[in-house]
Structures are given as C-alpha cells and as structure tokens.
Chain A
Amino acid sequence: AQSVTQLDSQVPVFEEAPVELRCNYSSSVSVYLFWYVQYPNQGLQLLLKYLSGSTLVKGINGFEAEFNKSQTSFHLRKPSVHISDTAEYFCAVSELDTGFQKLVFGTGTRLLVSP
C-alpha cells in the first residue's frame, strides 16, 4: 500500500527567503503526484501536479516541484516566499493500482512566513 510522508510538520521562514517542503512516498507502481495548499477554513487548491514527462513541474504562485523517482521524492520549492504563502501544504499520491482514482495525503506541512 502506498504512503506519503511529510517529515516537517511546520516550517518557519522569513519573507523573501527560499523554502523547500519535503515529500516522500512509497509505492511499487507508477504514481501521479500532487501538491495542494489549504488556507484556514477552506478547501484544497491545486498547486501543481506530476503525471508524466518533465520531472520539474511548475505550478501557481511561483511554486515548483521536482519528481525524483530514485529517491521517491516530490519536494516543493519556492525561491522567495510572501506572507500570503502562510498556509497548510499537502502532498498527495495516486497509484496505478487504483487506476489513479484515490488520493492518499501526507500529514501536511504548515508554512509560517514572518516579516
């Protein structure tokens, strides 16, 4: 069964600094990978996704992520964060075994951007 690990429950960072949110997954079959952002009391908004092709994926709001199959990772990066990036970030995986139907989420990483 697949699992998703987000090792950092919280990442504090100063405004305009770079940030990396880590995501590792375990699966023996092909996967699709996603990053979602959740603002307080709201649903999830898709930041970016990897389905196939180039392993470097660019998303909205200046975020990007790189799929590394050998390390089974899909870390999220942004070169310069803003106060408005403060939110909860979830990494998610869907697997070939489920027809890529089901999403399994990591436990989330809270990004705290301070002035």
Chain B
Amino acid sequence: GAVVSQHPSRVICKSGTSVKIECRSLDFQATTMFWYRQFPKQSLMLMATSNEGSKATYEQGVEKDKFLINHASLTLSTLTVTSAHPEDSSFYICSARDSGTSEATQYFGPGTRLLVL
C-alpha cells in the first residue's frame, strides 16, 4: 500500500518550453502533496505544498509563476515548469500524505529527472 507514482520518469526539453509532471497516489487519497527538488548529490528541498482544491503554498524563494501547481483531485497533483531554462534541470520528487489517517508519514514518488537543453 501507500504507492505514489510520477510521470514522466525522465524528460528532455528545449529551453523556453513548458513541462508538466504528474504525481498520483495510487491506493490512497491525498489532500496534501509535496513537491521537492533535488540537485545532484544533495538533499531534498521542499518547493511547495499542494493542497487539493486550493492554492499551493510555496516556500520562500520559489517562483510560483515559474512552478505552477494544480491539485484538482484527491489523487493527482501536477507541477508545470513554465518556460524552462537549463538551470531548471534537476530531479523533481513528489510525496503525499494519506488523508485517511492522522499519520504524518509522507510517501514518495520515484522522481522525475528533467533536463533542459
């Protein structure tokens, strides 16, 4: 149980294009999902908290117009990197909390590697 998927697993795009990454909770509902960014050989940095049916909460220094988050259902959150540039290349990981329990555990997706040329 508690499986989170991400799609795509890997994407290469040209500079200036937009890329959408999907995060799905497969066997539970998640009113709250989280988006992280991980640079090579570094830790995870929280970018934003995605709330079902409302606006995402962004961490300081994260451009909300650059990283659009939509959480339209209890099992799906999407992150769109708009007008991507090479410096946006990174490993993006989402996580989700099971809203059916009071547990604070976050379950992580397998990650999406973005390369912007």
Contact = CB atoms under 8 A, between A and B. Distances in A.
Interface stretch (A17-25, A34-42, A68-76): A34-42
Tell me the interface secondary structure of chain B in the complex. Answer: strand
A90 B41 CA distance: 12
B93 interface: yes
Interface of A: 32, 34, 36, 41-46, 49, 51, 90, 94, 100-108
B35 to A, nearest CB: 12
B111 A41 contact: yes
A42 B104 contact: no
B43 to A, nearest CB: 5
20 contacts: A32-B104, A34-B105, A36-B108, A41-B113, A42-B110, A42-B111, A43-B4, A43-B93, A43-B110, A44-B44, A44-B95, A44-B108, A45-B108, A46-B105, A46-B107, A51-B104, A101-B97, A101-B104, A106-B43, A108-B42
